[in-house]
Amino acid sequence: MAIILLAILFTILELLLSSLFYPMPFRDSRGEMRYRTFPWMTWTIISLNILVFMVWLVPDMVAARTSILRSKVFLYGYREAELHQSQSIGALMTFTAIFMHGSFAHLFGNMLYLRVFGFRVEDACGPWRFLAYYLLAGMVANVFDVLLNPIEAQANFAGIGASGAISGVMGAYLILFYGERITCLWGVGSLLRFIGVIPIRLFTRRRPDWWHWRLQIPSVLLLFPFLIMETVPSISIIESGYESNIGHLAHVMGFLAGFTIFLFIRKDMLMRYLQGRAL
């Protein structure tokens, strides 16, 4: 138990340190949902991911049962070679891999992004259509990650994680709520804001607060750079066989799956979107 608590504490510290340099989403700034007050499907998905990791994978990690852990990842993670050879559990790997994570940081980071962006997207779709979209985005990300990857060695690499599905949620959020702001923790951004406040305080009658740890960043400025940063290494992977332990291709393809969100959102919300009205 002490090892697990230490790992959780270290993960939280790691996330906070990373937020000094890159914005870490904290919550949707408006926080208003049109149809529901409680996004129970998003919380269910988060709970399932945590449960699978804590109950099924963490015991083997703590006990250093490397062979057992590797066999679980290789059996239920997404591997191109196994899919082509009709081994393991076949195409179901595209589903099971979405609910597996390799570390506390991997899990916590993904679940944080799902909590921030999943609430509003679920509200736009309804819980069951949101679940269908989430699974579709994750499986599309997995499939295209191996179809577009020319590296033969990657055929035996087991891909796990909800990153592709969550990238799909982020893509859907950007399409549906491109005008919204996301509250983020961002050390560099807070410092730049402090510098910008100095002349305002000195030369005008306005008196804004000197310092804010949390900043509201337009979703376009937060999510579109994410897509660009994932696209650059993805192009390198496709063109020159650049090897990476990070599923950049899965992130990009999951994000682009966001365009299918119009097949899942509520009809009245779709009509408002097409008419340019606020969602």
Helix axes 163-176, 104-125, angle to 10 degrees: 40
124-180: pLDDT as tens digits: 999 999 999 999 999 999 888 877 776 654 556 777 889 999 999 999 999 999 989
For residues 128 and 130, what is the distance between their CA atoms, to the nearest angstrom? 5
18 pLDDT above the threshold of 70: yes
Query: What's the average model confidence in pLDDT over 166-195?
Result: 93
At residue 98, what is the residue type? I
**pLDDT class of 89 with cuts at 50, 70, 90:** low
210 pLDDT above the threshold of 60: yes
- pLDDT at residue number 274: 87
- pLDDT at residue number 28: 87
211-269: pLDDT as tens digits: 888 899 999 999 999 999 999 888 887 777 666 677 888 899 999 999 999 999 999 99
What one-character-per-residue DSSP string does 131-148 give?
A: HHHHHHHHHHHHHHHHHS
For residues 208 and 229, what is the distance between their CA atoms, to the nearest angstrom? 33
The share of the chain scoring above pLDDT 90, in percent, equals 42
84 pLDDT above the threshold of 60: no
For residues 57 and 77, what is the distance between their CA atoms, to the nearest angstrom? 13
- If one compares 92 and 122, the residue with the highest pLDDT of the two is 122
- pLDDT at residue number 90: 62
Query: Phi then psi for 24, rounded to 5 degrees?
Result: -105, 110
62 pLDDT above the threshold of 80: no
- pLDDT at residue number 11: 86
- pLDDT at residue number 214: 87
**pLDDT class of 81 with cuts at 50, 70, 90:** low
- Round the average pLDDT of the chain to a whole number and report it: 86
- pLDDT at residue number 241: 64
242-257: pLDDT as tens digits: 666 778 888 999 999 9
Domains of the chain from N-terminus onward:
2-8+36-274 (1.20.1540.10)
The answer to whether 187 and 16 are in contact (CB under 8 A) is: no
What one-character-per-residue DSSP string does 54-117 give?
A: IIIIHHHHHTT-HHHHHHHHHHHSB-HHHHHTT-TTGGGHHHHGGG--SSHHHHHHHHHHHHHH
